[in-house]
Structure formats: structure tokens, C-alpha cells
């Protein structure tokens, strides 16, 4: 279980939160220093208390396979990044961002991992209803478990059944770790959402893949894929 449920619980009581980063893998990265993209957003939040805008990283990094002492000082393998990718819909849209890890959202509705979780989430209404998603942009990212295309499909179907895609103004999807199943996820997002006018943007640098920015939840955001930027207006 990651922090997604904590964000949704705090949203339920009216508190805004910041999605990412994580102390050990981000601030204590085993390379000689923090990744520059990560450092930029960390320092902005610490020094100003907010994030004004988000742009893509120039690179993405492969997952570190070992955390043994001999890895200290060794950089991660880097690849060129290609920025925000518009899968469908209008390139400019707005709303307050809310969401989290799609693996955890799967557990909200499916008791395979935690038998009592769907019961508790339903009892306490921890997942926002369709009305609450209005005026929001859905954020989705996948974990280090790299969910199979079939699990990803079922997760999207759960969200669709809850009326999420009919309510939101757009969808932001994080880069999968090591780009595993990236093409399959793209196809499933278009196929399952099945709403061509709903903006869906892929390959954002947040969530479990490296490097990652910090996303304010509950703050009005304007997404401009053509300009390759997300601005927060509050």
C-alpha cells in the first residue's frame, strides 16, 4: 500500500496535499547528488511552500536494481525523455489535480491483496464519488510492481464504472518505470476510456519512475501540452 489512500482521505476532509517526492529514493539517492530535476522541485517546495509550474524532464532513469553499499556514488542509467505526450483530446485544459497510484486504486475495488480493503473503502466512502470528481483532473501512475496490461485494464474499468472519466476534465498519466508496458498502457487508456474528446496526457515525470516532480493536489492547474507545461494558478 502506498500513500494514495492517505491523499484521498485528506482530500475527503478538505486538506490539500503534495504528491511526491519520497525521502529515501529522492533525497537520499545513491548517486553523488540528487537528480537535478528532482532537486529543482524539492528546493522550490521547501523554499516557497508551493509549486508554480511543471515542465518535463530532459531525461528519464532506469530503475536501480541493487541498493548494496557498492552502489553508493554510482549514477542511474539515463535516457533522453520526449516530454508530455497527448494521446487524445484538446491540448489545453484545466482543473484541480487528484488521484494517485493505479495499483492502489485497483485495491480499492478488488480484495485480492487486502480482503477487507474494498469493504472499508466503501463503508467510509474513501474513494471520491463521480460528483466529487467534477472540476478535477485525474492523475494516474503505476508502481514498481509494473502492473500487467490485464490488471491495468481492470483498474481503468473500475474507474470507468465509478463515473470518473465522465466527470473529470482530463487525465494525466505518469511514465511507467523503465517504460514497461508503456505502449500497452497507451492503447488501454484510449480503448477503455472510450471518450475521444477527453484529454489524456501520457509520460509525465511523477509517481514511481525517476526523476519525479511534486504535484500539488487541490490547486487549480492549467495543462498546456503544446507549450509542454502545467501551471498552477492559485
Q: What is the largest CA-CA distance in the chain?
A: 51
Q: What does the alpha-carbon distance between residue 117 and residue 138 come to, in Å, rounded to a whole number? A: 22
Q: Determine the pLDDT at residue 1.
A: 45
Over residues 159-166, the mean pLDDT reads 97
- Residue ranges with strand state E in 28-135: 53-54, 59-61, 78-80, 85-88, 92-101
| pLDDT value of position 134 | 96
- DSSP character for 225? T
| pTM across the whole model | 0.96
In whole numbers, what is the pLDDT of the chain averaged over residues?
94
Q: Tens digit of pLDDT for each residue in 29-74?
A: 889 899 999 999 999 999 999 999 999 999 999 998 888 899 999 9
The predicted structure's pLDDT at residue 234: 72
pLDDT at 28: 87
Residue indicated by cell numbers 515542465: 55
User: Does 2 score more than 80 pLDDT?
Assistant: no
Distance separating alpha carbons of residues 81 and 61, to the nearest angstrom: 9
Which of the four pLDDT bands, split at 50, 70 and 90, describes residue 113? confident
What distance in Å separates the CA atoms of residue 137 and residue 42, rounded to the nearest whole number? 23
Written as nine digits, the cell of 182 is 508503456
Please report, for residues 6, 23, 28, 225, the alpha-carbon distance to residue 187 in angstroms, rounded to integers and kept in the order given: 29, 33, 35, 19
Mean pLDDT across 136-142: 97
Kindly list the domain boundaries of the chain, sorted by start residue. Answer: 4-232
For the segment 131-160, the average pLDDT, to the nearest whole number, is 96
Structural contact between residues 92 and 222, judged by C-beta atoms closer than 8 angstroms: yes
The four Cα atoms 202, 204, 210, 212 give a dihedral, to 10 degrees, of: -160
Nearest CA among 198, 131, 135, 197 for reference residue 163: 131
* Class of 4-232 in CATH: alpha beta
What cell numbers appear for 138 in the block? Answer: 485525474
Of the candidates 116, 29, 119, the residue with the CA atom closest to the CA atom of residue 78 = 29
Amino acid at each position: 500500500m502506498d500513500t494514495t489512500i492517505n491523499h484521498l482521505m485528506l482530500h475527503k476532509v478538505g486538506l490539500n496535499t503534495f504528491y511526491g517526492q519520497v525521502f529515501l529514493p529522492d533525497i537520499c539517492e545513491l548517486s553523488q547528488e540528487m537528480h537535478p530535476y528532482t532537486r529543482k522541485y524539492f528546493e522550490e517546495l521547501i523554499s516557497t511552500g508551493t509549486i508554480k509550474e511543471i515542465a518535463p524532464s530532459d531525461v528519464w532513469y532506469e530503475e536501480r536494481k541493487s541498493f548494496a553499499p557498492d552502489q553508493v556514488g554510482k549514477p542511474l542509467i539515463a535516457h533522453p525523455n520526449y516530454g508530455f505526450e497527448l494521446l487524445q483530446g484538446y491540448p489545453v485544459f484545466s482543473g484541480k489535480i487528484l488521484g494517485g497510484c493505479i495499483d492502489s486504486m485497483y485495491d480499492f475495488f478488488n480484495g485480492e491483496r487486502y480482503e477487507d480493503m474494498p469493504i472499508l473503502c466503501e463503508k467510509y466512502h474513501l474513494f471520491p464519488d463521480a460528483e466529487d470528481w467534477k472540476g478535477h483532473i485525474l492523475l494516474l501512475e503505476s508502481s514498481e510492481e509494473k502492473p500487467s496490461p490485464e490488471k491495468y485494464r481492470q483498474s481503468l474499468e473500475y474507474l470507468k464504472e465509478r463515473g470518473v472519466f465522465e466527470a473529470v476534465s482530463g487525465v494525466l498519466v505518469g511514465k511507467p518505470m523503465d517504460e514497461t508496458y508503456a505502449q500497452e498502457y497507451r492503447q488501454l487508456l484510449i480503448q477503455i476510456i472510450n471518450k475521444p474528446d477527453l484529454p489524456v496526457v501520457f509520460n509525465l515525470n511523477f509517481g514511481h519512475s525517476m526523476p519525479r516532480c511534486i504535484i500539488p493536489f487541490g490547486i487549480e492547474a492549467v495543462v498546456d501540452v503544446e507549450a509542454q507545461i502545467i501551471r498552477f494558478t492559485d
